[in-house]
């Protein structure tokens, strides 16, 4: 049976490099028989985590009522979650970080999911993406008790202007990663 694949798109640039890489990832996933959906975090109203931890005593209900309510349901329902973001100052951008912080409310529901990372940056090689990869691994590691895992990552290197990722090896790698979901 096909899996449910959710792409959280952190870039504020629709049609930008991470967006295009995500499309290749989704194309691969769909061709492999899975359902794939992309959510643009830019279009959502998502407040920063207040750190009140009220969610820990209310079965995962956040005190904020915003578009995370919709995302919580989508993340819970997904078999695979891809975090797509440009590298901003060596890690994922604020839109992504804000949404991920809010998932503290649903830690108990992060069971049996596979996480992917789709990144792009101006820097020329993986060496410069080490912080983002480390953040990704440690984020996924928080759900290891629920049997969630890392599925892989792909980066577009040396890309800045929207669309520059087209024609780079990252496109094929993203497609293959999608097929392997």
Ligand X SMILES: Cc1cc2nc3c(=O)[nH]c(=O)nc-3n(C[C@H](O)[C@H](O)[C@H](O)COP(=O)(O)O)c2cc1C
Total residues contacting ligand X by CB under 6 A comes to 19
Closest CB to ligand X among residues 37, 160: 160
* CA-wise closest residue to 121 among 156, 97, 164: 156
**Which residue in the set 30, 79, 90, 133 belongs to the binding site for ligand X (CB under 6 A)?**
90
Contact call for residue 74 and ligand X (CB under 6 A): no
Contact call for residue 40 and ligand X (CB under 6 A): no
Residue 39, beta-bridge partner list: 8
Which residues, 6 or more positions from 73, have their beta carbon under 8 angstroms from its beta carbon? none
Pick the stretch among 60-68, 85-93, 134-142, 170-178 that binds ligand X (CB under 6 A): 85-93
CB of 163 to ligand X, least distance (A): 8
Computed on alpha carbons and rounded to an integer, the radius of gyration of the chain in Å comes to 16
Residue 117, beta-bridge partner list: 83, 153
Closest CB to ligand X among residues 126, 150: 126
Residue 119, beta-bridge partner list: 85, 155
Pick the stretch among 26-34, 95-103, 110-118, 119-127 that binds ligand X (CB under 6 A): 119-127
d(CA 47, CA 119): 23
């Amino acid at each position: 049976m096909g899996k449910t694949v959710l792409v959280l798109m952190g870039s504020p640039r629709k049609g930008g490099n991470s967006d295009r890489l995500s499309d290749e990832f989704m194309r691969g996933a769909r061709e492999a028989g899975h359902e794939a959906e992309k959510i643009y975090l830019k279009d959502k109203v998502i407040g920063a985590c207040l750190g009140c931890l009220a969610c820990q005593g209310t079965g995962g209900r956040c005190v904020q009522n915003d578009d995370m309510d919709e995302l919580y349901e989508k993340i819970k329902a997904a078999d695979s979650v891809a975090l797509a973001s440009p590298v901003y100052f060596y890690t994922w951008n604020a839109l992504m970080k804000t949404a991920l912080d809010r998932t503290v409310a649903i830690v108990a529901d992060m069971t049996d999911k596979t996480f992917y990372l789709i990144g792009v940056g101006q820097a020329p090689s993986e060496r410069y993406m080490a912080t983002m990869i480390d953040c990704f691994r440690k984020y996924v590691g928080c759900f290891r008790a629920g049997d969630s895992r890392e599925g892989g990552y792909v980066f577009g290197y040396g890309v800045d202007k929207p669309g520059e990722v087209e024609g780079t090896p990252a496109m094929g790698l993203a497609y293959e990663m999608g097929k392997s979901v």
